[in-house]
Amino acid sequence: MTKFISSNLGYPRIGEKREWKNALEAYWSKSITEETLLERTTALRLENLKKQQELGIDLIPVGDFSFYDHVLDTAVMFGAIPERFQTNHNATDLDTYFAIARGEKNAVAAEMTKWFNTNYHYIVPELNNVKPTLVQNRVLHYYNEAKEELGIEAKPVLLGPVTFIKLSKGYSEAQLNDLIDAFTPLYIQVLQELSAAGAAWIQIDEPILGTNLSEKELELVKDTYKKLKEAVPKSKIILQTYFETVQNYKEVIQLPVDAIGLDFIHGDNLEQIKKYGFPKDKALAAGVINGRNVWRADLEKSLELVKKIEASVESETIIIQPSCSLLHVPVTTKSEANIDKVILDGLAFADEKIKEIYAITHASENGIEQVQAIFNKNKESLHALNTSTYRNNENVKQELETLDLENTYRSLSFSERIKKQRELLQLPLLPTTTIGSLPQTQEVKQTRRAWRQGDISNEEYTTFVQNETKKWIQIQEDLDLDVLVHGEFERTDMVEYFGEKLAGFNVTEYGWVQSYGSRCVKPPLIVGDVAFEKAITVEDITYAQSLTDKPVKGMLTGPITILNWSFVHDGLPRFTVLNQIALALEKEVLALEEAGINIIQVDEPALREGLPLDKQKWKTYLDAAVEAFRLATATVKPETQIHTHMCYSEFGEIYEAIDELDADVISIETSRSHGELISTFEENNYEKEIGLGVYDIHSPRVPSVEELKKNISRALETISIEKFWINPDCGLKTRQEPETIAALENMITAAKEVRKLALTEQK
């Protein structure tokens, strides 16, 4: 008879009310001591463990907590400290850890990029000249803490060695074997210490197995796990995969581990089991609850999925768990007091997902009768949501039925329309601009909060936002920026803001998830059919434009980014929802154009992150993303200049899709990758205009004029000066006013000096 065990892969770090974020930022601002930071985060960590224990989870994860990022944790644990941070620092020092992530006066922060196809960002380890050593077994500390403080025999969680090294930089392909050989003994030491402490189950995350590994890399996986398992015969190793179908399934299930974790929400792992079977001597850790979305699971379907899995395997043990760590969803729905009950009853955040895991495990092990009330409530809630008006907008359905995706092209080619745009805009060589948002001070946040709470009137709030806009239009003019922005002071988040304005969306009050470091976002809920109701940004943009003779960009978030950074209902195919968003945004783009806005930026920072891990699925995704962008932007006049922005992305493999967006100007984050992206444009003859971010806004340091000139000059070795724009690498919302002004002043000075030199040489 099959035994069923409940498990969790990871729990949100941030706290129900972002207590973790507040503690971190208080420490960074020197408002609290390190001792106080440790006290607060320890209390939060123990509270999270106790909650999972009370909700009935058998295998509770430890080691999933982080002060910033779990990949950075792994690097620091093994002494992989970039050379520029080793001077006057201790490898175990918390300030060193934060310096790597955030940078400091004389050292640029480590590169940051997306964690597979999610909106979580990790710090990229730098392995050049690293001699790894086990500095501190942090996972052992958390394991002992759970046992000693709460009596919990927890499940330690480690980022696996193959994924860790594959996500790192600073080595050649030929060095991969040597690096694995260098890190494997350290992993063995960590595992042996955990086993000696009594860890019965140890989870090792290898999401890289959802990607297309080479035969050589697969052999490394086999060899590595043979060594790891031999080192800890008394502990059970769970090799955990997620986000996609395991690409080398037949080889992976034969690895010498005690359990294999598979994602049954994304990809087709069940079909692989049916086709190739599953080893009888291994437990199957089945991810049957969606760890990346917030909609209530259909428990009857989930239970049926478990039965199909059980019928297809001979394993004596099935572990019921989420598809991935719950890091990617908010903590709990219990604090949401302002959402329509129909929607609220259809939601499941981390705590609710754990309850679903418990219910499915209990029903699988003991029969459904004892949890029948839970299943009945689940069925009622789903029926109410699916039959609601949110999901039955006939106008939207009709518009989609008449949609012609073959006719999404600008009326003139780029070479023809850029002449008209240059004539209209009259911009100088190397035009300077920013990406969109400007610093949101505590006063901005507090005033918005007071307005939302009804403490100030709509008129008072509008006046405040306009005053902030006026102040920053003047600052930008004083700095002599060429293309201005209104600053987005009315916006909380670039996706949530549009979620508040478009039909078919809903927003939460406490639905925060970690994006990077202490930065948390509240993805809006796409509840049903998306539709444009009225102009969203026109009033704010035209007010800003009325204050200056210089062009002010209209600022919108693009359709694929809104899709990827929202929690999307599963009542329709994702690409159908994508086209609904694109049609709504097209109406906003045309409204801005009608109001006299000549530059409209439609940002797509999440384009690459949505790529499936399996490259064979890329084309379908990229075709849909390109069609949606053009659907939203292609109907403008030739004179209207369309911009877009992308960040944290390696674009070489998707260059053609970027080109096919047909944006007139694209700005791309490259500062943390130290200009590595430029090689993509060295290899391709990119026709359109481009801005490669010349400094990193995620770090508080102010770059010097010389540093900026160097970055600009490097780009101009490849990109024609007539096509190049000068801008920061991302929006400036999270920065302080003084550092923002200082950095922009240096950026504009650098641009002018390079411009002057270029014009002199042309003469």
Give pLDDT, residue 330.
98
CA distances in angstroms from 81 to 78, 89, 368, 382, 660, listed in the order given: 9, 10, 52, 49, 40
Query: Letter for the amino acid at 466?
Result: Q
Alpha carbon distances (Å) from 215 to 122, 219, 240, 427: 27, 6, 20, 52
For residue 565, say whether it is annotated as part of any ligand binding site: yes
Amino acid at 672: R
Q: What is the pLDDT of residues 383-418, one digit of tens each?
A: 999 999 999 888 888 888 888 877 789 999 999 999
C-beta separation of 135 from 96 below 8 A: no
> What is the layout of strands, in order, in the sheet containing 554-557?
554-557, 599-603, 641-646, 665-668, 689-692, 724-725
Distance CA 595, CA 576 (A): 30
- The residue written with tokens 């299930």 in the block is 253
Q: 275 Cβ partners below 8 Å, 6+ apart?
A: none
- Is 19 assigned a ligand-binding role in the annotation? yes
* Residue 488 assigned as binding residue: yes
Q: Is 739 annotated as a binding residue?
A: no
Backbone angles phi, psi at 357, to 5 degrees: -60, -45
Output the six-digit token pair for 464: 């405040």
Among residues 52, 75, 63, the alpha carbon closest in space to that of 202 is found at 63
Give pTM, 2 decimals. Answer: 0.89
Concatenating the DSSP letter of every residue in 172-240 gives -GGGHHHHHHHHHHHHHHHHHHHHHHT-SEEEEE-GGGGS---HHHHHHHHHHHHHHHHH-TTSEEEEE
Q: What SS3 class is residue 429?
A: coil
622 — alpha (psi -120 to 50), left (phi > 0) or beta?
alpha
Report the C-alpha gap between 282 and 268 in whole angstroms: 20
Q: How far is CA 248 from the centre of its chain?
A: 26
Positions in the chain whose pLDDT score sits under 50: 672-674
Spell out the residues 6+ positions from residue 622 whose beta carbon is closer than 8 angstroms to its own: 611, 654, 657
C-alpha span between 190 and 168 (Å, rounded):
20
Could you give the CA distance from residue 591 to residue 614 in angstroms, rounded to a whole number? Answer: 39
Q: In the structure encoding, which two tokens stand for residue 404, read together?
A: 């012609």
In tens, the pLDDT along 173-219 reads 999 999 999 999 999 999 999 999 999 999 999 999 999 999 999 99
What integer pLDDT is reported at residue 674 of this predicted model?
46
Say if residue 647 carries a ligand binding annotation.
yes
What SS3 class is residue 643? strand
Give the dihedral sign, CA 165/167/168/169: positive
Q: Please compute, for residue 261, the number of CA atoms within 13 A of its CA located in the half-sphere on the CB side.
A: 30
603 is in an annotated binding site: yes
For residue 659, give the amino acid letter: D
- The reply to whether 609 sits in an annotated binding site is yes
3-state secondary structure of 357: helix
Cross-strand pairs, 554:
600
Catalytic residue positions, numbered: 698
Please tell me the class of the 414-440+477-501+536-762 domain: alpha beta
What pLDDT, on the 0 to 100 scale, is given for residue 676?
Answer: 54
Tokens of 362: 């209990």
pLDDT at 555 (0 to 100): 97
The string of DSSP codes covering 502-559 is SEEEE--SS--EEEETTEEE-PPEEEEEEE--S-SSHHHHHHHHHT-SS-B-EEEE-H
Please say whether the beta carbons of 150 and 46 come within 8 A.
yes
Whether 147 has a binding-site annotation, put simply, is no
> Which residues belong to CATH 3.20.20.210 in the chain?
3-389, 414-440+477-501+536-762
Instruction: Confirm whether residue 669 is marked as ligand binding.
Output: yes
CA–CA dist 198, 225 (Å, integer): 20
Residue 730 in marked binding region: yes
Residue 402, Cβ density class (10 Å: 0-12 exposed, 13-18 middle, ≥19 buried): exposed
Backbone angles phi, psi at 668, to 5 degrees: -135, 140
**263: β partners:** 287
Q: Which overall architecture, per CATH, does domain 3-389 show?
A: Alpha-Beta Barrel (3.20)
Separation between Cα atoms, residue 76 and residue 74, nearest integer Å: 6
Report CA-CA distances (Å) from 113 to 162, 209, 683, 729. Answer: 18, 19, 23, 13
